[in-house]
Amino acid sequence: MAATAQASDRRAAPGTPRAGIALTVIVTCQLMVVLDSTVVNIAIAQIHASLHFSTAGLWWVINAYTLTFGGLMLLGGRAGDIFGRRRMLVAGLVVFSAASLVGGLAISPAVLVASRAVQGVGAAMAAPSTLALIAATFEEGPPRNKALAVFSAVSAGAGSLGLILGGVLTAEVSWRWVLFINVPIGLAVVVLAPRFVPEPPRREGRLDLPGALLSTAGLALLIYGFIRIGEGGSSVKIITGLFAAAVALLSLFVVIEARSSTPLMPLHLILDRTRGLVYLVMLSISAVVFGMFFFISQYAQAGLHYSALRTGLAFLPLTVAVFALSRIMPRVLTRTGPRLPLLCGTALIAISLAWLSQTSVAQGYLGGLFGPLLLFGIGIGLSYVPMGATILKGVDRDDSGSASGMYQAMQQIGGSVGLAILVSIAAGHGQSAALEGAAGFAVLAFVLTAAALSGRAAHR
């Protein structure tokens, strides 16, 4: 299709200051939206005391963000293709930063939960453009692999970094600063993005509004259904009704997308055997990551009696491993292709979770947590770059926003759904069983990887 924005469509020369600033701007946006999925976890106790939340209402500080972020992701991806990916990134961060400011100033539970929901809207506007802008800014091959390594390290490490940052800010200043910190960073990105990040050509057409309504409502109901399971106490009829409505809406969405000339989610992206299965790998790994962060942060505070700060710092081995591997993964990917590192990564993640499931308070930190968290970080560091490279490989520019939006949607939906399933397991069988369940998700990711990247696909 004809492009409507040609002037800024320039790929960055690798190694130049401009390329470095462009990448920094893009990954900072990704850092902010992923980090906010976990940064408030550490501050939950202080938020509860400060604003007098009910126990049931407290978890909506987390769930309100996840619900709108995951539910609107596909719409945000296609909006970037049509209205401009850089424009959507900037607009999304304006919304995200403003909501962060309101949330930090909140004096009631309702205001905080509402601001977190609006944060999710801003994140859904901005996040799908990040991966698409990397594809547009850096040529396929070594330049893009290096950029993807940094992006993947941030995507994988932001969750643990959020726990560390949340612990520091909560302990040293106030829980409000886990939200306030987004404002100056967001404004800096908003100022720098138009100067350094190229705007790829936009796709002519209109938003698929029926598809947008159906996908948003269907995904929101699906995520909400699993949230209700995680909360406990909901009747089987209510949960069954939520899932039935979600399946009906998403099925109708697929029918409409198959007939649309400008679909919100081009079906060929997920019907491609390799790419479609790798999306499921991302779904499974995200379930593992969200679950591990949730249970181990709870274990550190309740079992080991760690402070918020010390709990955040407990994840440092994981974070260091992820960022260290990001420096070598481009060379590894060039030499081996995506199959071997992704197989090794998912296997290590499964082993680390099985190890964590056997941890006891008597072992302390060094004997119980240090080793498996380090192994988990290595596994995650090996996994994310191959997933991103495989999903973007060969994607037409017109579809890069949708491909990126699907990647981000799998991350949020997998995390929400997986966490709800694992919390339900923990409620009935204990935390060790939940971690074993998370290991099962990692094994599933291993099997899907083997299927996705077998034969010729393994050497692409």
> Count of CB atoms within 10 A of residue 406's CB?
26
Phi and psi at 11, nearest 5°, equal -75, 145
Cα 26 to chain center, whole Å?
15
Cα 126 to chain center, whole Å?
12
Token pair recorded at residue 240? 């069954």
Phi and psi at 327, nearest 5°, equal -75, -25
Token pair recorded at residue 380? 């995650």
For the stretch 220-248, pLDDT in tens is 788 788 777 766 666 888 889 999 999 99
Cα 62 from Cα 208, distance rounded (Å): 29
Kind and range of the H or E run holding 323 = helix 316-326
CB contact at 8 A, 180 and 332: no
Helices (H), 138-235: 142-172, 177-180, 182-196, 209-231
Cα 45 from Cα 58, distance rounded (Å): 9
Nearest residue to 264 via CA among 75, 113, 412:
75
Length of the chain: 460
Options 1.10.10.410, 1.20.1250.20, 2.10.210.10, 3.40.50.1450; CATH for 17-199+264-459 is: 1.20.1250.20
| pLDDT score of 56 | 63
CB contact at 8 A, 284 and 412: no
CB contact at 8 A, 168 and 312: yes
Cα 248 from Cα 244, distance rounded (Å): 6
Whether this model's pTM surpasses 0.75: yes
For the stretch 198-222, pLDDT in tens is 887 777 667 777 887 888 888 778 8
For the stretch 395-426, pLDDT in tens is 777 677 677 778 877 887 788 778 778 877 88
Q: Does 357 have pLDDT greater than 90?
A: yes
Phi and psi at 29, nearest 5°, equal -60, -45
